[in-house]
Amino acid sequence: MEILRAKLQQHNATAAVIGLGYVGLPLALEIASAGFKVVGIDLDQNKINNLKEGKSYVGDVSDQTMAGAIRTGRFTPTSDFSALRDVDTVSICVPTPLSKSRDPDISFILTATEKIRKYLHAGQLIVLESTTYPGTTDELILPELESSGLRVGADFFLAFSPERIDPGNTAFNTHNTPKIVGGITETCTEVARIFYSQFIERVIAVSSTKCAEMVKLLENTFRSVNIGMVNELALMCDVLGVDVYEVIDAAATKPFGFIPFYPGPGLGGHCIPIDPHYLAWKLKALNFQARFIGLAAEINGMMPSVVTTLVSEGLNRFSKSIRGSRVLILGVAYKKNVSDCRESPALDVMRMLIEKGAILSYNDPFVTTLRMNGNTLKSIELTPANIESQDCIIILTDHSNYDFRRIVTASKLVVDTRNATKDLQQFKDKIIKLGAGNNVASASNHEDEQESPAANLRTH
């Protein structure tokens, strides 16, 4: 440990990061910026080629930053795992998606662990950052690494440190976001703490890997449950004729005991829609039902259908049905000012509208092309003519560079799922806003549509 401690504190160690996505690439560059030599490993050769040319594919990493790291020689991208033979630390930042049956898919973690075991040597620190269920590090990674004959806490060190990346967040980044670390042994925790302390402002040690794994799941389950609650509140407010945004903003004036969450068309991104399922899956195996997680998932999962119902209600005001109507989607990324479409609720809304016969198009300044149902869609320009030609415009992602006043002025009908039109009350007759209390007339009254999801909640 003392040899590795000295190398870390003197910044003479060489670090490896496996998985160069939106988590791994910023981490690798942050380590390199502290003076360490870093090897970035990814099996996607296109990514490696772009990085070698100084080109970034991650929104939070500029080409200038990428080119500078390559030019200094501190960052070396490769697809060759044999580079692990000469590194002192390894950070695993691979994807952890859900399978089609909504079970955790940890195959990327297992593959990375097998590669690490092949080149594992004494004095190495291994840290898993990929989100997973509690117990993964000590139940799956530890046995594989110890099968090499090396002992954890003595010959090598193993820890879990959950990633806390928030794409598009300009206030918090890898460097200034507090880092949680939990090791298999106290020595493992201390080595991991020393490592991260060299390039992250604040590092918090917890008692175990399982605790650190649970921290990440709590963070995202907290958000999932609260978003589910406020989405249900939005449906309540529609029934009651109350503006949910006015309610939330008023409640947020309380200086204690309240954190504002806002409704929307559903959950998106790699974390919040997925991570709670990891916890629920683990608990199900222990004969424990995670009821809050299940209920939040049910409510959040129905929001795209709620949006489709609002579109139907709006078009019916003009004696139109969804079938044959021209509908423009504003924003397909899962959150504002990013290009990430993973698990985006916009995709579900679009599929539902297509199934109902809408003539669909989209605009997203961050997503120029989109693959759907085997077809490639292209973002159309927001020209006055394109806006005026639409029967309905749906605001699904409220990117900062949208001029909503101009858009609403030229539109016939706007369905707003993000409260983006809050300052445009003079156009309220052409705006239907999720949770704004102006949607009391449920689409369940129309024979050509299915019963409103909000009505389903009222009757169960």
Sheet arrangement for strand 124-128: 75-78, 37-41, 14-18, 89-92, 124-128, 156-160, 179-183, 203-205
| 3-state DSSP assignment of residue 75 | strand
The Cα 44–Cα 382 span in angstroms is 34
- Give the residue among 377, 277, 396 at the shortest CA–CA distance from 336: 396
Is 271 in the active site? yes
- Give the residue among 57, 31, 221 at the shortest CA–CA distance from 129: 31
392-395 and 326-330 as β-strands: parallel, antiparallel, unpaired? parallel
Q: Which amino acid is at 314?
A: G
Active-site pick, 93, 271, 341, 392: 271
In the chain, the largest separation of any two C-alpha atoms, in whole Å, equals 76
Q: What are phi and psi of 391, to 5 degrees?
A: -80, -30
- CA 252 → CA 152, 219, 245, 325, 391, distances in Å? 48, 20, 10, 39, 36
Q: What are phi and psi of 179, to 5 degrees?
A: -115, 130
The Cα 215–Cα 374 span in angstroms is 38
Three-state SS annotation for 23-47:
CHHHHHHHHHHCCCEEEEECCCHHH
Q: Taking the alpha carbons of 414, 417, 423, 426 in that order, is the dihedral positive or negative?
A: positive
Residue positions annotated with a catalytic role:
271
